[in-house]
Structure formats: structure tokens, C-alpha cells
Chains A and B, each alone.
Chain A
Amino acid sequence: MTVESTAARKPRRSSKRVSAAKKPQSSEPQLVQLLTPEGVRVEHPDYEIDLSADELRGLYRDMVLTRRFDGEATALQRQGELGLWASLLGQEAAQIGSGRALRDDDYVFPTYREHGVAWCRGVDPTNLLGMFRGVNHGGWDPNTNNFHLYTIVIGSQTLHATGYAMGVAKDGADSAVIAYFGDGASSQGDVAESFTFSAVYNAPVVFFCQNNQWAISEPTERQTRVPLYQRAQGYGFPGVRVDGNDVLACLAVTRSALERARRGEGPTLVEAFTYRMGAHTTSDDPTRYRHDEDRAAWEAKDPILRLRTYLENEGLADEAFFASLEEESDVLAKRVREAVRAMPDPDDMAMFDHTYADGHALVDEERAEFAAYQASFAEEGK
């Protein structure tokens, strides 16, 4: 497989044009881009990537299956099977690109929207649905796939990632840690503190900010006066903005940041510039605060479409590949549907479980009271 030669930064100009009208901030900073919205491979002086056809098809497959899973989850919420769903629609490249940059021994601290990263870590997608169905608050073993539980309170996990990375460094390991968060979280004190701690301890952590332009109804302009990646400078570590809809660039930039962490050179802030194509969650109504034309402009930059164009134009994938992937998507969707519907409600007594690791007298007392109360109905029923 060949990598395009010098061919032009022209596509970057085109991506700029699309967003320039509405968002003045996006017109100044340079985006790292390796695959244009038109599906053209371009070079970047600082980041290169050389993937086999297999690997490229793998990234495409990851994005397609993640989107299908996500769409299925949205549908399951509409059908009443899930209480809520936070869609990642539009952010597949940011998540798959960064997720595939990780080694098995690296550790991930996600928000509640990192379904694509979970996919890359090998977390069974059906595991992600328990909390949205209301049968648990997460519940998977974070150490099985080095993928921490979803964190709902915005930005809190960046400190956990930093502490974990401090531990990695103490252990003398060369693993790296990645903390996901968003443009809204960038305003949180915990995120600022995680920048401070990771910088002064030189912790091997990558801060991966998916700037999807919206924190529910508030645009990025309500969170920052400077491009988010520039915040890193004030803390003394590098920041880089990457085209968050370009899976190749996200992979290359994240890989480079992780390598830097492994070399003991400390944290990096990656700002993946992307767009939340869907609502914040299924409870949200974006028509109240944003314009259709904005979304339409980003549709032209779709992460999956551009890789498909590239694969087709370069003859790296044939019809059979796309057809079999379609089939695989259907199988995944069916499996997800069935798994969700089969998910049992937890036992009544489960609410007391795991409150403490070493037990607690009050929990024991209340569990016994509740059991006796429940049993009293059974006796009446006899």
C-alpha cells in the first residue's frame, strides 16, 4: 500500500471553509489531518502513519460496527428497553483512532460516551448497556480490559487517570494512561487540577479531549476563549489539535502522545476536533439550540464516509468486504437487542451488596430489616 506523496494541504483548506463561517476559533489553529473529508491521503510534517490494507479495513470495520451498535442502543431507548443512551454518533474516528493506538497494558479512563474506545478494548458492548437500562451502575471489571467504569460526573476521571499514571511511573512500568473528556469538562476544576498534577509529576498520561462543539446546549465558545489544545502550554506540556473525524490522524497523534508518555516525557493534551451529530443523550432536544446547517456541514466531514472513499478509490476493499461487514453489523445489532431484552432486573437485595468491601454494621442491619419486610408479604400471601 502506498502513501500519497506531497499531495497538497488543499483538503485542509476545504475543511476550514466548511466551518469558518460559524466558528471563528476553528479558522486559526492548524488541524493535524492525514485523510481529508474527500478521502484523500495527505502528509503531515510531524505525524506519519503507514498502515496495511488489513489495518485500514480494520479501522473501517471498528467504526462501522461501533456506529451500528450505537444506533441500535438509541433505538432500544426509543423502544423503552433502555432508560437513556448517550450516542457517540459522529465521534467514531476520534474514539477508534485513539482506542487503536493503545497497547493492552495501557489503561483507559472514559466518560460515559466512549463506546468506540470500549469496543477497541474488547469490552463486550452489551456490558455498556446495563447502566443505561438501570440494572447496574457499570459493573464490569475495569481490570479485565484496562477500561475503567464510565464516569458520569464531568471531568472527575481525569484525576483518577492522573493518579493511576503516577502509580504506573512508580511501578517503573512503561504503560501509558489515557483520560477521555470533552469540551464541557475542560471548564471543570478537576480537569485543571489533573493538568497540574500530571505536569508536576510528569505522569504518563494522555488527555484526549473530544471537542464535539456542544456541552448539551452550550457551544464551545461558552467554555473557552482560546482553542482548547492551547491550554496545555500554560501547564508546561504539549497540546495538539487533530481532525477528530480523521481516524488516521487520531491514531497517529494519539500513538505519538502515548509514546511520549512511555518515554517518561509526561502528559500531552490532544484535542480531537469533531462534532456531536446526535443529541447529548436521548433526553436532549438539540433543535432548541442549534442549527441544521451546522450539522449538515459536519455531515460532509463524516469519519466513516471518508475512509470508505479512500478504501474504494485505492482499491483496498471490495464489494464483498462491505457486504460482509453489513452482515456482521446486522448480527451485532441482533445480539445487542437480544442481550438487552434478556438482561434480568437485579435481585431486590442487591442494592445492599458491595456498599463496603469489609462490611458495615448498619448495612447488615438494614439488609436484615428489608429482608424481613419483604418476607412479611410472602407470609401474608400464604
Chain B
Amino acid sequence: MAVQKLPLAKALNESLRKALETDPKVLIMGEDVGKLGGVFRITDGLQKDFGEDRVIDTPLAESGIVGTAIGLALRGYRPVVEIQFDGFVFPAYDQIVTQLAKMHARALGKVKLPVVVRIPYGGGIGAVEHHSESPEALFAHVAGLKVVSPSNASDAYWMLQQAIQSDDPVIFFEPKRRYWDKGEVDTEAIPGPLHSARVAREGSDLTLAAYGPMVKVCLEAAAAAQEEGKSLEVVDLRSMSPIDFDTVQASVARTGRLVVVHEAPVFYGSGAEIAARITERCFYQLEAPVLRVGGYHAPYPPARLEEEYLPGLDRVLDAVDRSLAY
């Protein structure tokens, strides 16, 4: 059964299962990933089938998880590490930035660090503090790391396969509020390159660029705009480092307008980088400045306010209107 309709979370689970089956060097590590199957059940059933030696419940220490994963990678293993929530990654930030990202270069290429750090990220689930953040720019800024985020079940399955096969460290951001969204997964398909963007919807008036949880919002915005006679193209970036600027550029060359959407704060966010690069590349094709829609420069708010903080359909369409008004 090659094509199945799966929730995004289950697609990740199937992808991990496939990786454990295919490569005996693949290990799963994290807090509660064993019997519990992870707090989001992404590793559900894996310890039962692959044993405690390969699906490893770790002590509650994020730096320790990533630091020991580095040691295991140096020994020839391919650890896939789970950080329980976005806001809990910072104790491991030092190991990720100063060690994981730089060790291949420090050794002049003589060691490889095939470590995947999976992080459920983003808001929209009514969680308490530190459970709804979008820190992807903090990792994309670091040379030596690759940063990706799937927006749908098929990408979740395939991008995780490709991240595990990568010889570089990959920070794999999972859109936690989309875990339960179902999509078709063809486990026998031939996937495109991991770091390529994808045109998720074609349009001619304006390009919306997004990734992870915001792709769905942008698709809904495009559908709503269509009813008003506006044709929006949606580019699912999929990878934040590297960014497939060629695909974005080609889209903007057609539409002349770009709005970048992410949950992370706009200030120094990936939208800033995309705006700068696309302005350089498409200066004469742009009909309006590149606009950004995202979080505010404030701590992620209490859950009762998050609907106001997170970019929703209306805020995206507001930016679309502002762009089209130029």
C-alpha cells in the first residue's frame, strides 16, 4: 500500500519506522520517546518494535541529549533527537551552535555529523508559555546547520527520510498544530530535493511565501482572495537553510509582488532575509515592496491572545491588499 491518507504526525512516525528498519545505525533519542511514544506520539510504538537500545528514553537534559548524540554520530550512528517543545531547545543551543554546527569544518571535513534534531514548533494549540515558539531563524543564522520544516503529511514523511540520510546536521521543525491534519503519503514516490521550495498554488497577481504551519493559512487566504477576483500564488519554502531563492524569484518575476508569512517575529525573521534577497534579485520586476506578516516583537502571548498574535487569514489578506494598492 504505497499511498495512504495519514495525519502529519503519523507520517512522521512511519518515516521514523522506515529509517529504523532501513539503517541499523539510526537511533531515536529524547525525553519520553520510549513507552509513552513522545508527548505528541510521534515515536509511538517504535521502542516496542526496535528496542530500548535504538529508541532511547534520555535523562531530562537537552544539552546532554544533543551532546551525547554528537558523540554517537562520531562513533558512526545517525541519531534522530527529539526536543519535546520549541521553547526547551535552548539548553541544547550551545551544543547545537558551537559543536554540532562547526565540528565538520573544524575537522576539515574528516568527521561527519549526521544528527537530526526534531523540534515541534509554533503556536495555535492553546499551550502554556515556552510551548508555542518559532525559533527557526536562530538556527538558520548558523553556518553548518540545515533547517527545514514540512507543511503537510507527504513532506513530513519524505523530508524526514531525507534529513536522516543527510550527512549534515538538520534542524527539523515540525508544525505541531498541523500534526493532526491528514494528507496523502506515497511511500514509494521519488521525492524532490530536500532543500527545494514548491509552488503549492499557482497564481498571477501576488506571491505568498510561507513554510510549516503558515502554508495552510496562505492557501486559505489564496482561496478567499480568489472569490474577490485576486489570483495569489503560494510558495511553500520547505527549507529555511538553504532557501530555494530561485523558485521564489521565478514566482515573483511572474507576479511582481511578494508577501512573506511566518509565525516567528518579523524582526530579524526569515522574512527579512527573503525580502532582502528577492529585492536584490527582482528589483525591476517588483511592483511593491516585499511585505512581511508574522509575530510581534513581544514574548509569545498567553494562549487567550495567541489568535491575535498569530498571522491568520485576515492579516495575510490585509498585507495582500496593501501590496496590491501600490
| Residues of A that sit less than 8 Å from B by CB | 109, 136-143, 148-149, 151, 153, 156, 158-168, 170-171, 189-190, 193-194, 196-197, 200, 353-358, 360-363
Q: List 5 A-B contacts (CB under 8 A).
A: A163-B75, A167-B71, A170-B77, A189-B61, A193-B63
Q: Assuming the A-B contacts A170-B53, A190-B67, A360-B242, are A153 and B98 also in contact, with contact meaning beta carbons closer than 8 angstroms in the complex?
A: yes
B166 within 8 A of A: yes
What is the bound-complex CA distance between A65 and B69, given in angstroms?
36
Which 7 pairs, one residue from A and one from B, show the smallest C-beta to C-beta distance?
A: A163-B71, A159-B67, A167-B75, A163-B68, A193-B64, A164-B71, A357-B167
B146–A356 contact, CB under 8 A? Answer: yes
A162 CB contact (under 8 Å) in B68, B91, B107, B111: B68
The answer on a CB contact under 8 Å between A355 and B143 is yes
Contact at A190–B112, with CB atoms within 8 Å?
A: no
Q: State the Cβ distance, A19 to closest chain B Cβ, in Å.
A: 34
Task: Judge whether B149 is part of the interface by a CB distance below 8 angstroms.
Answer: no
Q: How far does the Cβ of A129 sit from chain B's closest Cβ, in whole Å?
A: 15
B94 part of interface (Cβ distance < 8 Å): yes
Chain A nearest CB, measured from B90 CB (Å): 12
Contact pattern, B 139-177, Cβ under 8 Å of A = 1, otherwise 0: 000011010000000000000000000111000000000
Partner pick for A156 among B91, B98, B111, CB 8 A cutoff: B98
In the assembled complex, B313 has its CB within 8 A of some CB on chain A: no
* Nearest Cβ on chain B to A364's Cβ, whole angstroms: 9
Contact status A196-B107, CB under 8 Å: no
Whether, in the assembled complex, B304 has its beta carbon less than 8 Å from a beta carbon of chain A, the answer is: no
A163 touches B167 (CB 8 A): no
Inter-chain contacts of B95 with A (CB < 8 A): 156, 159, 190
* 0/1 interface trace, chain B 217-250, chain A, CB 8 Å (1 if under): 0000000000000000000000001111100000
**A170 CA to B107 CA, complexed, in Å:** 25
User: Is the C-beta of B106 less than 8 angstroms from some C-beta in chain A?
Assistant: yes
Within the complex, which residue of B72, B74, B104, B107 is in contact with A356, where a contact is CB–CB below 8 Å? B104
| Docked complex Cα distance between A175 and B12 (Å) | 35
Task: Specify which chain B residues have a CB less than 8 angstroms from the CB of A161 in the assembled complex.
Answer: 71
Expressed in whole angstroms, the minimum distance between the Cβ of B274 and any Cβ of chain A is 12
Question: Is B63 a contact of A189 with CB atoms below 8 Å?
Answer: yes
| Least Cβ–Cβ distance between B240 and chain A, in angstroms | 11
Selected from A141, A153, A164, the residue in CB contact (under 8 A) with B94 is A153
Known: A163-B71, A197-B68, A356-B146. A190 touches B63 (CB 8 A): yes
Interface band, chain B = 35 or more
**How far is A156 from B96 in the complex, measured between Cα atoms in Å?**
11
Residues from chain A with a CB closer than 8 A to the CB of B241 are: 360, 362
Interface 1/0s, chain B 108-144, versus A by CB < 8 A? 1111110000000000000000000000000000011
Interface residues of B in 238-287 (CB under 8 A from A): 241-245
Which residue of A is nearest B110, CB measured? A141
**B105 sits at the interface (CB 8 A):** yes
For window 54-89 of B, CB contacts with A under 8 Å fall at 58-59, 61, 63-64, 66-77
Given contacts A137-B105, A153-B99, A167 and B72 within 8 Å (CB-CB): yes
Quick check: B70 and A139 within 8 Å, CB to CB?
no
Q: A197-B61, A357-B168 are in contact. Are A143 and B71 (CB under 8 A)?
A: no
Residue numbers in A under 8 Å from B178 (CB-CB) = none
Answer whether A196 and B61 are a contact pair too, CB < 8 Å, given A138-B106, A149-B107, A153-B98.
Answer: yes
* Interface pair A167/B107, CB less than 8 Å apart: no
In the complex, the answer to whether A163 meets B70 with C-beta atoms within 8 Å is: yes
Q: Known A141-B107, A142-B111, A355-B105; judge A193-B67 contact (CB<8 A).
A: yes
Q: Kindly state the separation between the CA atoms of A189 and B107 in the bound complex, as whole angstroms.
A: 25
Given the interface pairs A193-B64, A357-B109, A357-B167, the reply to whether A156 lies near B71 with Cβ below 8 Å is no
B243 proximity list for chain A (CB < 8 A): 361-362
Q: Which residues of A contact B66 (CB under 8 A)?
A: 159
List chain B residues, Cβ under 8 A from A149: 103, 106-107
| A158 to B94 CA separation, bound complex (whole angstroms) | 14
Chain A nearest Cβ from B35, distance in angstroms: 16
Q: What B residues does A138 contact at CB under 8 A?
A: 106-108
Residue of A nearest to B165 (CB): A358
User: When the two chains form their complex, are residues B108 and A353 in contact, meaning their CB atoms are under 8 A apart?
Assistant: yes
| Among A161, A163, A164, A200: residue with most chain B CB under 10 A | A163
Instruction: Decide yes or no: A354 and B70 within 8 Å by CB, A156-B94, A200-B59 being known contacts.
Output: no
Complex contact B68–A353 (CB within 8 A)? no
Report how far A149 CA is from B105 CA in the complex, Å.
11
Which residues of chain B come closer than 8 Å to A357, judged between CB atoms?
A: 104, 109, 112-113, 167-168
- Chain B, residues 22-56, CB within 8 Å of chain A (1/0): the string is 00000000000000000000000000000001000
B10 touches A (CB below 8 Å): no
Cβ–Cβ < 8 Å partners of A139 in chain B: 106-108, 110
B68 & A166 in contact (Cβ 8 Å cutoff): yes
- Asked if A159 and B77 sit within 8 Å, CB to CB, the answer is no
**Distance (Å) between the CB of A20 and the closest chain B CB?**
38
The reply to whether B109 and A353 form a contact with Cβ atoms under 8 Å apart is yes
Instruction: Given the known inter-chain contacts A137-B106, A141-B110, A196-B59, please indicate yes or no for A159 contacting B94, CB distance below 8 A.
Output: no
